[in-house]
Amino acid sequence: MALQLGQAILDDLLILAYSFTGDTLFDVDTVQRIMKNYLEYETDGSHFGYKEEDGYISPPLSDMERVGKLMESYLAEIASNRSLPVSKFIGLAKLILEQSRITEDGMYKAIDIYLKAHPTITDLERKKVCSLMDC
């Protein structure tokens, strides 16, 4: 799944999780594992594609940018879920590589939605969430 993340759309990542309260919850842990595997393959290079001398090539930068944009959209989508803990939001956001962000617009939108949906988080948690964006 991680190898095909660049071809995914937002609906592919919105995996519903079971909830006792009836709220719509998404399986953030699974998406986080997929993203970690994608980054592992991407940074290793030899797993993702062939090296040039062996006939392998690494993924194009556009693929990384697409994945970064997809993950920002995913963050914005799940940010309004009031049961999403700060630690999970931050953990997932930190997986989005700086080089995959063309602008900070997607991250800003996700952070804005999260802060509005979670007005009771502490000032320290707000600072941690806001520090995810490169101002």
pLDDT tens for 61-71 read: 578 889 989 99
Residue 97 vs residues 9, 47, 68, 88: alpha-carbon distances, Å: 18, 18, 7, 17
Percent of residues, the chain, with pLDDT higher than 70: 81
Prediction pTM value:
0.79
pLDDT at 79 over 70: yes
Which has more confidence, 74 or 49?
74
The label of the residue with tokens 């719509």 reads: 24
Secondary-structure percent of the chain, ordered helix, strand, coil, rounded to 5: 60, 5, 40
Sequence-distant (6+) residues with CB within 8 A of 111 are 79, 129, 130, 132, 133
pLDDT at 55 over 60: no
pLDDT, mean of residues 16-40: 82
pLDDT at 5 over 70: yes
